[in-house]
Amino acid sequence: MATTNPNTTTVEIDRSRDLSQPLEKLAPEERMKFESDYLAGSITTDLIDEITLAVDENNNKLMKFHGIYQQDDRDIRDERRQQKLEPFFTFMLRGRLPGGVCTPEQWLKMDELGRTYGNEQFRLTTRQTFQFHYLNRNALRQVMLGLRDVGLDGKAACGDVARTVMSGVHPGLSKLHKQVFEQAQRTSDHVIHKTSAYEEIWFGEKPAEPRGASEEPFYGKQYMPRKFKIGFAVPPSNDIDIYSQDLGFVAVASRGKLKGFNVVIGGGMGRADRAPETYPRLGDVIGYVDVDQLEPVLDAVMGVQRDFGDRVTRAHARFKYTIDDKGLDVIKAEIERRLGFALAPAKKFTFDSNGDQLGWTTGDDGLEHCTVFIESGRIINKGDRRLLDGLKAVAETGTCVFRLTPNQSVILSDIAPADRPQVEALLAEHGIDSEPKKGLSALRLNSMACVAMPTCGLAMAEAERYLPVLITKIEGLLETHGLMDDPITIRMTGCPNGCARPYIAEIALTGRAPGKYNLYLGAGFHGERLNKMVRENVGEDVILEVLDETLGAYAKDRNAGERFGDFVVRAGFVAEVKEGRHFND
Ligand code: SRM
Ligand code: SF4
């Protein structure tokens, strides 16, 4: 198809893999979506089947669009197999929470649902939302109804659509943050899928009229080729890891007032060990737009991926591959053609970290904010640290907004100075530190692990349950080398899919098999450069050996202010580094 951009160049786009292909030539998921009656499938009837704990395969895939994943408890999978029992199926339900903002009332509902149906816990995710694990099939409707009571849902938390929209949470920049959050909220409302199937399945509502083409004016019957991720960053914090988003917006402000955004496209983390054609990619900054151009930009960028993304090979269906296949210039020109104007040159911006600013801060509006470190995001009562009870008690006071961070922690925000002592006392009473606890390394405070075992069906090794243990051992090395207070980012995932965004951590471990990981080093401290694999498929002893050597050298030979990731590259611990931001393995 020849396309003419009124403001830039003429481009040719090859549509060989696009929607004009007959269904039988596309990935099976394309037919499934097409025939699903806008995501309804037969989920309603499937949910009343009493013979099995599971749902049928197609419905299992369709339920993702409603926020639900079927899982089984991997800790007891073998035991049940030996007993000739089907796996112990349960469900994970992920909510949609644009920008991670949650009222005390909503937090209390999550607490109640997690206690009642989710094994007395729930989990904060790397995209600033929440998940319930261990739900049984009969609980799903109850949880959906509970969420609806407080204005929440599971729409688009998963599936081939635009996912939960992220928005940076920088407590010191409250006013600007609020303006950016409003745009994230607006974006979420704009890109959400519109099908009435959700209300019909979960609340028994009858669709006003038979579902037809007007149901999904943007997505159509086949939705996106794959998931599509959008985020807003507020410099100097890159907490949302803008370069990992399919579409990112970097806020540009003047005197505290939001003016517009630099637009970043084509980030993504997922890769597979046995598929060299899959790789993590950092997004590219393609230009600047004013705030009032946000919605046209969303439509244009998402429209390009909707129309030109690969619908044949799902492993190759993310926007990053569309961009690399067609060329960044071609994609940019096509976006501009759809917009009808050229993007302005990008404005300058700088980031200084992708972590959370922990402890108490006072915002530019005088309100107080307390960022509580939650290791791996699990909200649970464990020993003396009773996170579930403590945060519930704080929510009951109604004195703060809960802001979930992209590092799986929570900010108790917008607290009037007079209310701060009460919040502090409640946290202390439940064993929760409102300032980072003495003795915890800055590395631990910059750590992140994905869920992995026992619920994630794709996990090949532990992550959430193992990283804290490994960090305790690494802290021994940090003590020896005098690096306990040096912030270094470390991330672990149970497989290469990259759910904790490992490929932009200074130290990263991705699971290969029980107890075995690929070890990566050398990413930029604020997520601006990918890391590189330095050891493949190794166990704890090798990991500690390599870290001992590199951390020891860092302590001795670093330049003033030099970050660990930059040092290992300069000192040659990361071999064959290519120029530029795009190296991995
Ligand atoms: Fe993820 C699949 C958990 C953020 C890349 N991810 C999964 C599933 C649903 C496994 C599955 O498909 O059966 C995991 C459920 C585990 C469980 O038991 O809960 C899962 N992903 C998570 C969460 C909960 C990790 C966490 O510890 O917080 C995060 C939920 C975010 C959210 O609220 O929406 C999570 N996943 C991410 C991120 C990070 C991000 O988005 O900022 C990535 C990398 C960025 C990206 O998409 O490129 C990510 N998840 C994946 C992939 C690889 C996608 C790819 O392009 O190849 C998969 C596998 C897939 O989709 O086929 C996956
Ligand atoms: Fe599961 Fe892999 Fe994602 Fe971890 S990175 S949650 S193991 S899919």
DSSP per residue over 65-121, as a string? GGTEEEEE-GGGHHHHHHTTPPP-EEEEEE---GGGEE-HHHHHHHHHHHHHHSSS-
Pocket test for ligand 2, best of 495, 504, 520 (most atoms within 8 A of CB): 495
Q: How far is the CA of 463 from the centre of ligand 2 (A)?
A: 8
Q: Which pLDDT does position 143 carry in this prediction?
A: 97
Q: Is the CB of 491 under 6 A from ligand 1?
A: no
Atom of ligand 2 nearest to the CA of 451: 6
Q: Is 501 a catalytic residue?
A: no
Q: Is 499 noted as a catalytic residue in this protein?
A: yes
Ligand nearest to the CA of 130: 1
Single out the catalytic residue among 450, 501, 529, 563.
450
Pocket test for ligand 1, best of 89, 188, 239, 499 (most atoms within 8 A of CB): 499
Dist. CA 503–CA 509, nearest whole Å: 9
Distance CA 47, CA 537 (A): 41
Please work out whether the CB of residue 167 comes within 6 Å of at least one atom of ligand 1: no
Give the CATH architecture of domain 359-429. Answer: Alpha-Beta Complex (3.90)
pLDDT at 302 over 80: yes
Q: What is the pLDDT of residue 5?
A: 36
Q: Is the CB of 450 under 6 A from ligand 2?
A: yes
pLDDT tens by residue, 274-289: 888 999 999 999 999 9
Expressed in angstroms and rounded, the spacing between residue 461 Cα and the centre of ligand 2 is 9
Q: For this structure, is 456 an active site residue?
A: yes
- Say if residue 578's pLDDT is above 80: no
**pLDDT given at position 438:** 81
Averaged pLDDT score across all residues of the chain: 92
**Which pLDDT score, from 0 to 100, does residue 74 have?**
87
Whole-number pLDDT of residue 575: 72
Residue 565 Cα to ligand 2 middle (Å): 24
Mean pLDDT of 101-118: 98
| H-type alpha helices, 192-327 | 197-203, 294-308, 319-326
- pLDDT tops 60 at residue 7: no
> Could you tell which of 451, 453, 455 is best to mutate to test the pocket of ligand 2, judged by most ligand atoms within 8 Å of the CB?
451
Give yes or no for residue 583 having a pLDDT over 90. Answer: no
Q: Whose CA is nearest to atom 35 of ligand 1?
A: 499
CA dihedral 550, 555, 558, 562 (to 10 degrees): 90
Q: Which CATH number fits domain 442-570: 3.40.50.620, 3.40.50.1220, 3.30.413.10, 1.25.40.10?
A: 3.30.413.10
pLDDT surpassing 60 at residue 12: no
The finding on whether 229 has its CB within 6 A of some atom of ligand 1 is yes
pLDDT confidence of residue 20: 66
495 part of the active site: yes
**With 70 as the cut, is the pLDDT of residue 2 above it?**
no
Least confident of 80-89, 289-298, 461-470: 80-89
Contacts 24+ apart (CB under 8 A), 316-323: 316/277, 316/278, 317/27, 317/225, 317/226, 318/226, 318/227, 318/246, 318/268, 318/270, 319/228, 319/246, 319/247, 319/265, 319/266, 319/268, 320/246, 320/266, 320/267, 320/268, 320/281, 323/265, 323/266, 323/284
> Where does the pLDDT of residue 162 fall: very low under 50, low under 70, confident under 90, or very high at 90 and above?
very high
Report, as an integer, the average pLDDT of 114-119. 98
- Please say if 158 is a catalytic residue: no
Q: Where are the domains of the chain?
A: 359-429, 442-570
- Token reading at 304: 């390009």
Say if residue 166's pLDDT is above 80.
yes
Active-site annotation holds for 450: yes
Q: How much distance in Å is there from the Cα of 572 to the middle of ligand 1?
A: 32
pLDDT (0 to 100) of residue 51 = 65
Helices (H), 35-76: 43-46, 57-63
The answer, yes or no, to whether any atom of ligand 2 lies below 6 A from the CB of 451, is yes
Q: How far is the CA of 190 from the centre of ligand 1 (A)?
A: 23
Write out the two tokens for 60: 């299992």
Under the banding of pLDDT at 50, 70 and 90, the label for residue 9 is very low
Ligand located closest to 154 CA: 1
- Check 271, 444, 495, 532 and give the catalytic one: 495
Give 399 Cα–ligand 1 centroid separation in angstroms.
Answer: 33
So what's the pLDDT on residue 385? 96
Q: Closest Cα to atom 30, ligand 1: which residue?
A: 125
Q: Which of 127, 137, 229, 403 is catalytic?
A: 229
pLDDT of 207 over the 80 cut: no
Task: Indicate whether 61 pLDDT > 80.
Answer: yes
In this predicted model, what pLDDT tens digit does every residue of 32-47 receive, in sequence order?
Answer: 999 999 999 999 888 8
CB of 427 within 6 A of ligand 1: the answer is: no
Look-up of token digits 């005390």:
104
Residue 86 has pLDDT above 90, yes or no: no
The response to whether residue 493 sits with its C-beta less than 6 Å from ligand 1 reads no
pLDDT at position 582 is: 53
For residue 16, is pLDDT > 90? no
pLDDT score of 367 more than 70: yes
Q: Which ligand is nearest to the CA of 272?
A: 1
Strands 490-493 and 447-449, sheet pairing: parallel
Q: What residue owns the CA closest to ligand 1's atom 33? A: 127
| pLDDT for residue 552 | 98
Residue among 565, 571, 550, 442 at smallest CA distance from 504: 565
Burial category of 48 from C-beta neighbours within 10 Å (exposed 0-12, middle 13-18, buried 19 and up): exposed
Counting ligand 2 atoms within 8 A of each CB, the residue from 450, 512, 516 with the most, and so the one to mutate, is 450
- Among residues 1, 71, 61, 74, the alpha carbon closest in space to that of 34 is found at 61
What is the atom index within ligand 2 of the atom nearest the CA of 457?
1
Residue of 80, 107, 140 whose CA lies nearest to 454: 80
* 216, pLDDT greater than 80: yes
Residue 577 confidence (pLDDT) above 70: no
Mean pLDDT, range 160-164, rounded to an integer: 97
- Annotated catalytic residue 163: yes
